[in-house]
Amino acid sequence: MISNAMLQQAGTILGQVANGVNIVVVPQSMSVGTAENPAICLKSAIQVNWVKKQMAAPEVRKYVEDDVAWDGIIGTVALDTLVIQEAVFDGTVAYRSAVIWHEHGHVLHGKTENGNVYLYEVTNLTNAVGVLDGEEIRDVLEMRSVAYRAAVDPGVAALRQFLQQNWQITL
């Protein structure tokens, strides 16, 4: 169930690196694109309309707690909104942060899964050592290394160098 606490937690994680960016959490049953992707940064009007339509559907609303101002949240969905599936919150804080910071990387570096987007994610995770558990961060980086390997330019060389220097992870 989507709760105000879950929405607040998502905003807090995003707030560590950005202000003024909209983030919404949606039920796991709602599609955000491909099956393996638990989140999306909306980069087109078509995506915005698609997400708003899904959020308004009774099949989605039934997974939202009654005290959540869901219609108001739907009204905030716009370009560069981060849409995160609730299952992300079943993971560690490091994983939640990685997903949210990755999607924020798309706000800054475009819609493609490029090295700069991933570099933004891993840099923020690295900067959070001491706040987040270092082993949890390493686990997330290793788990997501398949995606890092698939990154396209720009930024691939910088991503590889950063992971090698800071985490001894070779892509």
Domain ranges, ordered by start, for the chain: 4-89, 91-167
In single-letter form, the type of residue at position 86 comes to E
Using the CB atoms, write b or e for 29-67: b if 16+ within 10 Å. Answer: ebebeeeeebbbbbbeeebbebbbebbeeeebeeebeee
pLDDT band for position 112 (50/70/90)?
very high
pLDDT score for 92: 97
Lowest mean pLDDT among 7-11, 30-34, 56-60, 81-85: 30-34
Q: How far apart are CA 87 and CA 95, in angstroms?
A: 11
pLDDT one-digit tens code per residue, 58-98? 999 999 999 999 999 999 999 999 999 999 999 999 999 99
| 93-109 and 115-127 helices, crossing angle to 10° | 140
Residue 112: count of CB within 10 angstroms of its CB:
14
Q: How far apart are CA 40 and CA 20, in angstroms?
A: 17
Q: Is 24 exposed, middle or buried (0-12, 13-18, 19+ CB in 10 A)?
A: buried
| Cα of 20 vs its chain's centroid, Å | 15
Q: How far apart are CA 69 and CA 55, in angstroms?
A: 12
pLDDT one-digit tens code per residue, 126-138? 999 999 999 999 9
Strand segments (E) across the chain: 23-26, 39-41, 82-85
Look over the chain and give the mean of its residue pLDDT values, rounded to a whole number. Answer: 97
